[in-house]
Amino acid sequence: MTNLNYDVVIVGAGNAALCSAIAARESGASVLVLEKGPKKKRGGNSYFTDGAIRVAFDTLDDLRQVIPAMTDDMADQIVMPPYSAEKYREDFQRITQGQTDTTLSNTLIDNSLETMKWLHSHGLEFDLIYDNQSFVKDGKYHFWGGLVLKSVGRGIGLVNKLNDIATEMGVDVWYESAGTDLVQDADGKISGINVLRNGETETIGAQAVILACGSYEGSMKKRIAQMGEEWEKAILRGSEYNTGDGIDMAVAAGAVKYGDWKMGHAISTDANAPVVGDFEVPGDVFKKSSYPIGLIVNKEGKRFVDEGADYRNYTYAKYGREVLKQTDATAYHVFDGHVADLLRSEYREELCTKFESDTLEGLIDQMDIDKAAFAGTIHEYNLAVQDGDFNPQVLDGKRTVGLEVDKTNWANPISKPPFLAFPVTCGLTFAFGGVKATTGAEVVDAQDAPIPGLYAAGEMIGGLFFHNYPGGSGLASGAVFGKIAGANAGKYVG
Ligand SMILES: Cc1cc2nc3c(=O)[nH]c(=O)nc-3n(C[C@H](O)[C@H](O)[C@H](O)COP(=O)(O)OP(=O)(O)OC[C@H]3O[C@@H](n4cnc5c(N)ncnc54)[C@H](O)[C@@H]3O)c2cc1C
């Protein structure tokens, strides 16, 4: 029989929601999770990830606390530079051009590893990202870039395990159940939520509601209104269900919009990827992120960004937007035999669209591009490449000189077979806009006063990301603020 009263109702069933469900249940509250999608489409954007999670740590031993299967022998094969909280802060500041709300981002950073330990204590499994974040030298794995930890089994493993943990703890989950409106008492305190289920609206009584139902990237109308008309052409990499419902509900209850409402995380993705995330193809299989060691060329045959400006973690989220501006929102990632063996694993995925030839002319023939202009671009680029030691693990300064758009690191000539081209388009990952919340995940009103009983987590919280985003901090944010929201909601109803 349906129980129509819970202490805490959580809207959404992605990473942030499930972390908050576990924390709220841990504090003794009765918890209901509402998922708008059917069971086979549960888990939101979190389901589509590769599970990469950015945490601050000082030593490999810090990470081994969540990877107990790593033996001393395995650890001896690993060279792991520290990724301190200070470095994480610097990255946040640099990438968001100083606009991140530091009270929020510091909370994320300072709780990142502890939150993974907490999840691990509940049974979540982690491993290092050997394939894309390390290279082998002298028989050892050398990690780089700070983003080194992942949940086992990609996003699908993460979502399934979090669901198992939550349901074993006694959390109820309703599918095909969309939260539509918050119910407040005369003092503005949350007293419940309206839910659309089986075509009917029912009211669930609740002392606290945690909104963890993503941003608005899944709504074409809101996307165009907030981010601009060109975003109609972007494909949606993740869940179709994140249509800003939580933001609308919160704002109707007195919350204020917060953060970067003009921008989202967008990357280069396979030109033939589904136009919305396909739950039958989990994992981040369509992304394309090896461009720092190659070139990006548009249909006019021209380069338009410095592919080597920085490590991919710090440019991939903004270069997707640059692809959106090109003709047909299309470009090509171009590589040759100098780097073919160094391409990230996604370039070898079965579903990857690829052109390959032993000659540059043979490659050009296959591409839908201004062929003469492209050949000219490659010729000019090759002449501009300077001598130097190519080293993809550091900003090697091996660059071009004298081009309209120079490539400032990792510049090799395109001259050695095989010649490779991968058509890409812009894939929108998530919108940065959300609502304002405290470091305790309480949603606040225009006077910065918490709305009693209302919490938010994950993409719903605005103010963390502006312009761009440090890869792996989306899941970290969902877990950290999810845990905080759940614990605080549990205390509030306690
Ligand atoms: C392809 C892809 C790869 C990514 N890779 C990474 C990565 O490796 N590392 C990383 O840190 N980040 C990654 N991200 C970003 C990351 O997925 C998000 O930042 C994060 O998962 C957001 O978590 P969330 O819980 O806030 O939202 P979501 O996981 O999107 O969950 C939102 C949930 O709310 C539900 N919902 C929406 N509206 C309602 C409603 N009205 N009622 C009930 N339920 C509702 C949705 O169905 C969904 O289940 C990736 C994203 C994509 C799309």
Contact 469, 28 (CB under 8 A): no
pLDDT tens sequence across 218-270: 999 999 999 999 999 999 999 999 999 999 999 999 999 999 999 999 999 99
pLDDT at 403: 98
- Residues with beta carbon inside 6 Å of ligand 1? 11-17, 34-37, 42-46, 48-53, 178-179, 212-214, 237-239, 241-242, 245, 284, 429-430, 458-459, 472-475, 478
Mode of pairing for the β-strands spanning 78-79 and 140-143: parallel
**Distance from Cα 4 to the centre of ligand 1, integer Å:** 27
Question: Please, which pLDDT band fits residue 34 given cuts at 50, 70 and 90?
Answer: very high
Q: What spacing in Å lies between the alpha carbon of 449 and ligand 1's midpoint?
A: 27
How many angstroms is it from 239 CA to the middle of ligand 1?
A: 7
Residue 86 pLDDT grade (very low, low, confident, very high; cuts 50, 70, 90): very high
Taking the C-alpha atoms of residue 59 and residue 73, their distance in angstroms, rounded to an integer, is 16
Determine the residue of 11, 46, 289 to mutate for testing ligand 1's pocket, defined as the one with the most ligand atoms within 8 A of the Cβ atom.
46
- Mean pLDDT across the stretch 4-17? 97
**pLDDT above 70: percentage of residues in the chain:** 99
Q: What are phi and psi for residue 429, nearest 5 degrees?
A: -95, -55
From the CB of residue 127, how many other CB atoms can be counted at a distance below 10 Å? 17
State the sign of the Cα–Cα–Cα–Cα dihedral 263, 265, 268, 270.
negative
Ligand 1 centre from 478 Cα, in Å? Answer: 9
- Average pLDDT of the residues in 108-113: 98
Atom of ligand 1 nearest to the CA of 46: 21
CA distance linking residue 335 with residue 248, whole number of Å: 45
Tell me phi and psi for residue 482, to 5 degrees.
Answer: -65, -50
> Which part of the chain is CATH 3.50.50.60?
5-217+432-493
277 neighbors 218 (Cβ within 8 angstroms): no
Average pLDDT over residues 442-465: 98
* 384 Cα: distance to centroid of ligand 1 (angstroms): 42
The pTM for the full model equals 0.94
Short-list 319, 299, 288, 317, CA closest to 407: 319
Which atom of ligand 1 has the smallest separation from the CA of 249?
41
pLDDT digits (tens, 9 = 90+) for 176-197: 999 999 999 999 999 999 999 9
Backbone angles phi and psi of 336, in degrees to 5: -140, -170
> How far away, in angstroms, is 293 Cα from ligand 1 center?
29
Nearest in space to 125 (alpha carbons), one of 70, 44, 59, 60: 70
Q: What is the DSSP letter of 390?
A: -
Fold classified for 266-427? Flavocytochrome C3; Chain A, domain 1 (3.90.700)
Q: What confidence score (pLDDT) does residue 3 get?
A: 54
C-alpha to C-alpha distance for 190 and 188, rounded to whole angstroms? 6
Q: What is the pLDDT of residue 131?
A: 86
Query: 5-217+432-493 — its CATH code?
Result: 3.50.50.60
Please, is 327 exposed, middle or buried when counting C-beta atoms within 10 Å of its C-beta (0-12, 13-18, 19+)?
Answer: exposed
Q: How much is the pLDDT for 488?
A: 98
Residues of the chain with CATH 3.90.700.10: 266-427
Residue 45 Cα to ligand 1 middle (Å):
3
Q: CA Rg, the chain, in Å?
A: 23
pLDDT in tens, 303-353: 999 999 998 877 887 799 999 999 999 999 999 999 999 999 899 999 999
Nearest CA to ligand 1 atom 49: 44
Residue 197 pairs with which residues in a beta bridge?
A: 177, 200
- Model pLDDT, residue 1: 40
Residue 196 confidence (pLDDT)? 98
Q: In 48-77, which positions are buried (b, 16+ CB within 10 angstroms) versus exposed (e)?
A: bbbbbbbbbbeebebbbebbeebeeeeeee
Per-residue model confidence as pLDDT tens digits over 160-176 = 999 999 999 999 999 99
Query: pLDDT tens-digit profile of 272-304?
Result: 999 999 999 977 899 999 999 999 999 999 999
Rounded CA separation 79/101 (Å): 33
pLDDT tens, position by position, 88-104: 999 999 999 999 999 99
* Distance (Å, whole) CA 75 – CA 22: 31
Task: Output the residue whose Cα is nearest ligand 1's atom 6.
Answer: 49
Residue closest by Cα to atom 4 of ligand 1: 49
